[in-house]
Amino acid sequence: MKETKVNLKHLKPYGDIMEDGTVQLCFTLSVEASPEAREAATLLVQKMGFEQIKVATMEKVAQGFSTFVIYGNTKHFLDFTKIKVLKIESPKHSREEIDDIIKTKIGKKLVVIGACTGYDAHTVGIDAIFNMKGFAGDYGLERYRWFDAKNLGAQVLNQDLLKKAVELKADVVLASKVVSQHNIHIKDMRELIELAKKMHLREKIIFIAGGPRVTHPMALECGFDAGFGVGTKPSEVASFIVEEYISRLKKQKRF
């Protein structure tokens, strides 16, 4: 009998029937396209835990290289109810609410600076967060009355960004990372935090990373306070900033 309702304790990939476990795979083998190559690909996919393997295509992509598109059904499943993910839990506020929270609870303008760090020149993300007009109908940080927001633009080296943070007495630093070739974004992000620690800035400043390959857990691992990915709206970043700032204020008062 076909299951029609999802069993969250037994989650499998869905193709066209519940729990069929269908997965599409694409990979290249460094051997000439041949019946032997096809058999090798099938056996490899079998070793990965797939059944009912269908080689959709085998293409000669270069001399001595063959690429496969293969469908298989996985035997594995997962208990979805046990999944835990680190994510930003702070409540979301509108621009008006955020301005009001800063005005009444913080009582001073928060200085936010941001840049595309290292040799990264792709400012589309940081611009969407900073620029007046913002992104997807959500106004940028420059528009907020209680943020003193400054976008330093592209290719700002980590040490220059931190120098500027000291000069402007920044409360928040946003680092935008777009280029991720050979994980350069992770290296740059780690370096920024290391430098901040050396300059005794880590505790004073809220560090936020953003970019298409940035995730919250990965940003935390690099030592940031938060990470935001594709499609993030300025008000989401702003909400995190005020919540984090206030929680730090509370901690200071307690000790």
Partner 1 sequence: MTEDCMGLGHAQEMNPEHPNCFLLEIARAQMTRDIFPNSPIKFMPPTRYKSGDIFYSHLMDAMFNFVGVLTGQTIQLLGMPTEAMHTPLLQDRWMSIKNAKYIFNGARDLSQEISFQQNGVINTWAQKVLGETLKHLEMIKHKGLFKAIEDRAFAEVSRTETSGKGYDGVIKKHLQYLNPFFEIF
Catalytic residue status for 250: no
Distance in Å, CB of 156 to partner 1, minimum: 9
Quick one: which segment of 44-52, 62-70, 74-82, 90-98 binds partner 1 (CB under 8 A)? 62-70
Is the Cβ of residue 178 or residue 242 nearer to partner 1 in the bound state?
Answer: 178
- Binding residue for partner 1 (CB under 8 A) from 42, 74, 90, 180? 180
- Residue 82 tokens read as 């046990």
Judged by CB under 8 A, does residue 181 bind partner 1? yes
Task: Establish if 31 lies at the interface with partner 1 (CB under 8 A).
Answer: no
CB 67 to partner 1: min, Å? 4
Catalytic residue among 133, 187, 197, 198: 133
- Of 93 and 177, which CB lies nearer to partner 1 in the complex structure? 177
Residues in contact with partner 1, counted by CB under 8 A, come to a total of 23
The single residue among 124, 132, 166, 249 that binds partner 1, judged by CB under 8 A, is 124
Q: Taking CB under 8 A as the rule, does residue 8 contact partner 1?
A: no
3-state secondary structure 50-82: EEEEEEEEEEEEECCEEEEEEEEEECCCECHHH
Nearest approach, Cβ of 227 to partner 1 (angstroms)? Answer: 16
Is there binding between residue 27 and partner 1 (CB under 8 A)? Answer: yes
Using CB under 8 A, pick the residue from 10, 17, 28, 78 that binds partner 1: 28
Q: Does 63 sit near partner 1 (CB under 8 A)?
A: no
**Between 178 and 205, whose beta carbon lies closer to partner 1?**
178
Q: Which is nearer to partner 1, 16 or 203 (CB)?
A: 16
126 or 206, CB closer to partner 1? 126
DSSP-assigned letters across all residues of the chain:
----S--GGGB---SSSTT--EEEEEEEESS-SSHHHHHHHHHHHHHTTEEEEEEEEEEEEETTEEEEEEEEEE---B-GGG-------SPP--HHHHHHHIIIII-SPEEEEEEEBTT----HHHHHHHSTT-BTTB--GGG-TTEEEEE--S-B-HHHHHHHHHHTT-SEEEEE----GGGHHHHHHHHHHHHHHHTT-TTTSEEEEESTT--HHHHHHTT-SEEE-TT--HHHHHHHHHHHHHHHHHHHHH-
Contact set for partner 1, span 83-102 (CB under 8 A): none
CA distances, 86 to each of 76, 206, 215, 216 (Å)? 24, 18, 10, 7
- Compute φ and ψ for 24, nearest 5 degrees: -100, 135
Active site residues: 133
Q: Which residues bind partner 1 (CB under 8 A)?
A: 26-28, 59, 61-62, 65, 67, 119, 121, 123-124, 127, 153-155, 178, 180-182, 212-213, 230
